[in-house]
Structure 1
Amino acid sequence: MFSLKDKSVIITGGGSGIGRAISLLFAKQGAFVNIIELNQVAADETVAQILQEGGQAKAYACNIVNQGKVLEVFQQIGRVDILVNNAGIAHVGNLENTSEEDFDRIYQVNVKGAYNCLFVAIPMMKEQGGGVVLNMASVASSVGISDRFAYSMSKGAILTMTLSIAKDYLKSNIRCNCISPARVHTPFVDGFLAKNYPDNIDEMFDKLSASQPIGRMGKPEEIAHLALYLCSDEAGFVTGCDYPIDGGFTRLNN
């Protein structure tokens, strides 16, 4: 079950965290994993681990904000059976302390970056007879979270783009879903805490962990296993859905 044998997969942001976990798992399931990553060193490390474990993978240095570069890389890859739009950045702040520069930066990466990959991948999938798209949204797309104005905006866009793609390409045999994680313990989180809460990292880590009713943050591997199901043939009847994977965050925080 859940075989991805002979599937050509593109994963953005596959160099670390959730993207790396998805890349490693998909490779184990037989996929040829193409990692698109701004950080070439991180991407190469993921590829090296995949190759060491007997899988197939290749890394491409690419800023997904640049549509021309995205087109160039996708053409090099040649086929895309599965696209995982995982790359993204965060921002802390409400409306009043979110600058225009901050807003534009979040939009460019989280929204336009996903759009660019979709814009290139969907025609390729249509031409080859179908495909699967998985977008990485967030619980912030469904519930109000303090001081996440720009980030929530971007993930709300990911959620609604997911619905549009799923609706518009039903007859093209293209499925599109999204995952909405709550807090997941990744290097991204560690960097976020170090940057924004340098004087009380441990306290904030415990606070963020406790915000999930289950009592801890998620693990990247747990997100990867849900991604595997949604991208596999076993999920052939699933499209246009958002899957919270959140330790009870959206429904049990009452």
Structure 2
Amino acid sequence: MKKILNQGWRPVLVVVLLLVLWEISSRIFAIPAWLLPAPLTIMEEGASTWANYAHHLVSTTQLSILGFVIGTSIGLLIAVLLHMLPRVREAFYPLLILSQNIPIIVLAPLLIIWFGFGVLPKLFIITLVCFFPIAVAALDGFRQTNAEMKHYMYMAGASRRQVFTKLELPHALPAVFSGLKISATYSVMGAVISEWLGANQGIGVYMTLAQSSFRTDRVFVAIFFIMVLCLLFFSLILLLEKLLIKGRPEKEGEA
């Protein structure tokens, strides 16, 4: 904890300095608020209109969490299946890569046409952006398991299932958590994009309404809360990683 506090002040100091520089520049150059509002103006707007967007924030948070859980579960399941079935992996891994080459902006209108404006197309979008990082990271983690340890377990009479559950899966946990961190931030992004394309509430809706009325300060308020959600989700995954994975060397090359 002490180490985290000692290292955590540096990024905080950088952020504070950037905000101060932003505030001073806005006053010196008299930048119009509709073009680039000052940080104090954004904070005042966020504090005074909390009741107007609190339900939007709750809606986006719930949608992000649900989509993250579904997407990472599907991604991890796909990774396990492709790892356990090498021939299936050879056939479907290229399709896994191609699934990420479809722009969400292009796919989203089709999902709305097919499934309407309910929660299903939104969850589909979040799942699409969340499952890929965890699937690829888990596959890499499984593949990098120590070959000598696997050979030893097979010689000791272990089954394929035992090798996976007792060696490959624990060995891949650091890679899995790396994928979870990426997916956690992607889930918020996917939720906001899905709300842009059709929703009744959410940070994406709040941002769209603010943009259409040229309320740049409210757009920055929405951006701020998107960043906070991403950092919060990332921190929760990081905390869970520290609780579940212990004894890892903190520096490369440390025994």
TM-score by length of 2: 0.26
Greater fraction helix: 2
| Greater Rg over alpha carbons, structure | 2
Greater fraction strand: 1
TM-score by length of 1: 0.26
